[in-house]
Structure 1
Amino acid sequence: MAASSYDLVVVGGGPGGYVAAIRASQLGFKTAVVEREHMGGICLNWGCIPTKALLRISEINHLLHDLDKYGFSAKEVSFDTAKIVKYSRDTAKKLTSGVQHLMKKNKIDVIDGHAKLAGKGKLSVEKDGKHVQDLTAQHIILATGARARTLPNVEPDGDVVWTYKEAMVPKKMPKSLLVIGSGAIGMEFASFYNDMGVDVTVVEVMDRVLPVEDPEISDFARKSFEKKGITIHTGAKVTGVETGKNGARATVETGKGETQTLDVENVVLAVGIVGNSENIGLENTGVQVEKNHIVVDEWQRTGEPGVYAIGDVVGPPWLAHKASHEGVTCVEKIAGVNDVHPVDTENVPACTYCRPQVASVGLTEEGAKARGHSVKVGRFPYQANGKALALGEAEGMVKTVFDEATGALLGAHMIGAEVTELIQGYGIARTLESTETELMHTIFPHPTLSEMMHESVLDAFGRPIHV
């Protein structure tokens, strides 16, 4: 049995929790992680990683049916759904075992069970309803993550109506699918199933798909999705779903006040997530919860001394890399590390791995203007980039937003092939507080997709070369 007294205990072994534990160990803290299911959390096991494996497979399927463009031909192209699921699950398992190795390497105790606060500096751990162990720690970090949000009139049953979990492990590929919600999760599943030949319909209550993105990018994305055959209803809501032997019948109320019925084999609920703030002993503590999310200050401290919270349980943006960064920041502040800075959520890149990919960092054009900035905006199309043409991926654009007076990069918004890899360049620029001058003077290699980032900056200041 693991020890019972620690300097720091992390509740939850996801990308926020295990990273926080590693940094704590590096800083000399005697550290433990309590995890009730699997190390790596939702991200490694049922989120970021296995979905990217699925999207890679659907990209291959798309290319196999578009071979003529590249001078190839193939007959009777087919796929095995069970093998597709296995590839995705095997990919997740490899990383989960890697995290377990990191725990051993950093001499971090991993305790299997469900932890609850049980008094000042105390935790009680249970497994399958039975008490396992009591722990004490000077510092406790809650990294309990989140779960899929449901709708009162659309309850997932694991058979016809799916959450993200069931959507990742289909027993067979459905002929038709309704996706409720068009955020990152919804559009990734819509893209995957569409590229696998499924008839996909998306219903979004907001007035546009990918509603947190820059409206210009959202509009571009919608046109691209619809061109690929995805049916999209915005400003609409699903008011009910009836399930039967042959699938589901959904009632959709459109933005025009009309009601439609839609028959599909399966439904995917992708309407956001809810923080796991229940049943972790927050009662009778100073920890505050608002809308299922734990309230923290800039250093991730809760209202209870010695208790901190990071990641999805504290609210948006609900991203693994944000959780990891919060974990490091939280631990370094506890340890008194010099030059530690609070997490600036506006410097957290957002990535959606649909086809075409979408990525962004910082303020949208609308958001910048709303804050009183006079802006300069640059754009550059994929179709004017040599590498994009060579790849056969000429659909997309790069958009940059600058403050007119200072030249500060306020935001960057991209859609197209590999933008989820490119966006970190603008992330570094914002972290370094770069202006247009530094970006213009940076030499971008040719031929690369990254040249479009340079051209977009040039365009914002009336100096584009290749358009």
Structure 2
Amino acid sequence: MSTQVTNTADVIVIGGGTGGYSTALRAAALGLDVVLVERDKVGGTCLHRGCIPSKAMLHAAELVDGIAEARERWGVKATLDSVDWAALVATRDDIVARNHKGVEAHLAHAGVRVVRGSARLTGARTVHVEGVRADSALGTQSMYAPGAHASATRPLTDPAPGVQPQSAPGVHDFGTRRGIVLATGSRPRTLPGLQPDGRRAVTSDDALFAPGLPASVLVLGGGAIGVEYASFHRSMGAEVTLIEAADRIVPLEDADVSRHLTRGLKKRGIDVQAGARLLDAEVLENGVRARVRTGRGETRAVEAERLLVAVGRAPVTEGLDLAAAGLTTDERGFVVPADWNRLETAVPGIHVVGDLLPPPSLGLAHASFAEGMLVAETLAGLPSAAVDYAAVPRVTYSSPQTASVGLSETEARARGRAVEVNTMPLTAVAKGMVHGQGGMVKVVAEAGGPVLGVHLVGPNVSEMIAESQLVVGWDAEPADVARHVHAHPTLSEAVGEVFLTLAGRGLHQQ
């Protein structure tokens, strides 16, 4: 029979993804007693089904592409015998598992009480949790006696000597002294009438775990997730069709980014169809059959072994019983803060982080880290600057990659800013020629003023965006950047050249 335990904490965090566990870690570091409730595994979608496993797979794809480049471009007579899917998956899973253990260890070391179960609000200061169990992997118990501090390690019942303490699943109620943080994340959206089966029709959450490598893939959705999966499957030899309803792929990025990325994907043999819509799709025994309305108004039949649906993500609030605490969602299902500077809802003491937030939040793991730290510091009574979403970098890990920070040219002009724009192809510098993937650097600056946005397309630009993040975040002007010397020959040299030209000191760029 389940037992009921009433417990209190300074902070209760519901959801153990990037936003939730970053809140918990920072709050604990500030001396607060923290309970973190998670019904699955700490780390959330990013660690277990998204960012980390997908980037591991994309690294494998880079290695495959490198073999082809070595043979076709550099005269290195290398061939690819086959891809050992089981070995590839094992390496991916090992990376995920080691990261998972690392997060668990951080939480345990910080004294965060991790509680396994499903949580719902029972008021503005109380949370009800069902299905709680001990997490022996943390090395301490997940449940503590009423009033126990986070540093305590005493389980509810003392075990016999030499026996690992265990606690039976039960029903538990928690109260908070400072606040509740909602961090329950998101799930993949799908389309009406289309039911993914995890094998022939898959979402972005289960695409990596579908069996084997398909010979052909229809990717529905040309945002960052869809583009990355299209890129991965093409590297692995699949015929790929990429469908995007907007008039260009990665439609939230600068138009020149979309143009250069489209060019790069098409060069690799990916059939990119922007301004296109899926009319219907039928899941067959050995694949899918779909009808697509192209941007030219033509109806086209597409058959593929797998349909990958990547049309965005929806916030998860089911079961939270927001109404019990006096909260509601907007028409899209987001929990909207009343105070964006504190990420606090209309109910004082209840904060929200991560994918539950509407734009301008970005639904990115690294933005969630910043949000979690902000909320933790707020709950600790410390001053903390609001998250500057314009200064948060955005990356697509396809081949070629894209990376950007700040405003696009269109956004800057729409805000009435008089702008100066300079664009330079990466192939205009020697290292860009070495890579041979094309790409560009684009800088949008206010005339006579600071840099408003930087946009990159090309190899390894995910590792180049940090400099531009600082440039935009610190309101630097082109002349401020131009005085700093960039190493030669590097891809980042092109970034320096663009700023030199904007500062009136152009060297190689005329």
Show the counterpart of 1:31: 34
Deviates more, 1:188-197 or 1:171-180: 171-180
Describe the SS at the equivalent of 2:11: strand
Greater radius of gyration (CA)? 2
User: Aligned in 2, Cα 1:76/1:367: closer, same or farther, shift over 3 Å?
Assistant: closer
Show the counterpart of 1:397: 440
Show the counterpart of 2:293: 253
Deviates more, 1:163-172 or 1:457-466: 457-466
CA contact 2:216–2:306 (8 Å) conserved in 1: yes
Describe the SS at the equivalent of 1:263: strand
Q: How does 1:195-214 map to 2 (within 5 A)?
A: 195-214=235-254
Instruction: Give, as a single letter, the amino acid of the residue that structure 2 aligns with 1:123.
Output: V
Show the counterpart of 2:176: 137
Instruction: Give, as a single letter, the amino acid of the residue that structure 1 aligns with 2:313.
Output: I
Q: Does 1:216 align with 2:216?
A: no
CA contact 2:64–2:80 (8 Å) conserved in 1: no
Q: Does 1:293 align with 2:334?
A: yes
d(CA) in 1 for partners of 2:248, 2:324: 42
Q: CA deviation at 1:48?
A: 0.5
Q: CA deviation at 1:128?
A: 8.6
Instruction: Give, as a single letter, the amino acid of the residue that structure 2 aligns with 1:116.
Output: R
Q: Does 1:87 align with 2:101?
A: no
CA contact 1:81–1:170 (8 Å) conserved in 2: no
Pick the aligned partner of 2:424 from 380, 385, 398: 380
Deviates more, 1:261-270 or 1:375-384: 375-384
Q: Does 1:327 align with 2:372?
A: yes
Pick the aligned partner of 2:227 from 187, 199, 202: 187
Runs of 4+ in structure 1 displaced over 4 angstroms?
A: 128-131
Deviates more, 1:11-20 or 1:169-178: 169-178
Describe the SS at the equivalent of 2:261: helix
d(CA) in 2 for partners of 1:288, 1:431: 33
Pick the aligned partner of 1:336 from 364, 367, 381: 381
Q: Does 1:227 align with 2:231?
A: no
CA shift digits 1:420-448 (9 cap, x unpaired)? 11111111112222111211112222332
Q: Does 1:434 align with 2:434?
A: no
Deviates more, 1:202-211 or 1:249-258: 249-258
Show the counterpart of 2:16: 13
CA shift digits 1:247-296 (9 cap, x unpaired)? 11011112233211111110000000000122112024332311111011
CA shift digits 1:2-21 (9 cap, x unpaired)? 98210001111111111111
Q: How does 1:407-446 map to 2 (within 5 A)?
A: 408-446=450-488
d(CA) in 2 for partners of 1:393, 1:235: 29
CA contact 1:374–1:405 (8 Å) conserved in 2: no
Show the counterpart of 1:355: 399
Pick the aligned partner of 2:414 from 346, 356, 370: 370
Describe the SS at the equivalent of 1:283: helix
d(CA) in 1 for partners of 2:421, 2:50: 34
Instruction: Give, as a single letter, the amino acid of the residue that structure 2 aligns with 1:103.
Output: L
d(CA) in 2 for partners of 1:288, 1:445: 52
CA shift digits 1:331-366 (9 cap, x unpaired)? 11222223x111121111100000000011110011
CA contact 1:393–1:416 (8 Å) conserved in 2: no
d(CA) in 2 for partners of 1:195, 1:454: 31
d(CA) in 2 for partners of 1:171, 1:320: 27
CA contact 2:223–2:250 (8 Å) conserved in 1: yes
CA contact 2:199–2:211 (8 Å) conserved in 1: no
Q: CA deviation at 1:76?
A: 5.1
Unaligned runs of 5+ in 1: none
Pick the aligned partner of 2:124 from 103, 120, 124: 120
Show the counterpart of 1:61: 64
Deviates more, 1:120-129 or 1:93-102: 120-129
Pick the aligned partner of 2:55 from 44, 52, 56: 52
Instruction: Give, as a single letter, the amino acid of the residue that structure 1 aligns with 2:49.
Output: W
Instruction: Give, as a single letter, the amino acid of the residue that structure 1 aligns with 2:487.
Output: P
CA contact 2:288–2:303 (8 Å) conserved in 1: yes
d(CA) in 2 for partners of 1:76, 1:466: 39
Unaligned runs of 5+ in 2: 134-168
d(CA) in 2 for partners of 1:216, 1:74: 35
CA contact 2:198–2:207 (8 Å) conserved in 1: no
Give the alignment's Cα RMSD to 1 decimal.
Answer: 1.7
CA contact 1:401–1:460 (8 Å) conserved in 2: no
Show the counterpart of 2:351: 308
Q: Does 1:107 align with 2:127?
A: no
d(CA) in 2 for partners of 1:10, 1:393: 47
CA shift digits 1:393-412 (9 cap, x unpaired)? 44111100000032x11001
TM-score, normalized by length of structure 1?
Answer: 0.96
CA shift digits 1:111-168 (9 cap, x unpaired)? 0111111123111111299753111113110011100001003221112100113211
Q: CA deviation at 1:308?
A: 0.7
TM-score, normalized by length of structure 2?
Answer: 0.88
CA shift digits 1:370-419 (9 cap, x unpaired)? 111111111222112233334x244111100000032x110010000111
User: Aligned in 2, Cα 1:49/1:393: closer, same or farther, shift over 3 Å?
Assistant: farther
User: Aligned in 2, Cα 1:352/1:3: closer, same or farther, shift over 3 Å?
Assistant: farther
User: Aligned in 2, Cα 1:141/1:318: closer, same or farther, shift over 3 Å?
Assistant: same
Show the counterpart of 2:209: 169
The percent of aligned pairs where both chains have the same amino acid is 37
d(CA) in 2 for partners of 1:212, 1:457: 24
CA contact 1:143–1:313 (8 Å) conserved in 2: yes
d(CA) in 1 for partners of 2:17, 2:255: 32
User: Aligned in 2, Cα 1:443/1:461: closer, same or farther, shift over 3 Å?
Assistant: closer
Instruction: Give, as a single letter, the amino acid of the residue that structure 2 aligns with 1:237.
Output: R
CA contact 2:481–2:499 (8 Å) conserved in 1: yes
d(CA) in 2 for partners of 1:253, 1:428: 43
Deviates more, 1:444-453 or 1:48-57: 444-453
CA contact 1:234–1:255 (8 Å) conserved in 2: yes
Instruction: Give, as a single letter, the amino acid of the residue that structure 1 aligns with 2:446.
Output: D
Show the counterpart of 2:494: 452
d(CA) in 2 for partners of 1:132, 1:460: 63
d(CA) in 2 for partners of 1:28, 1:22: 10
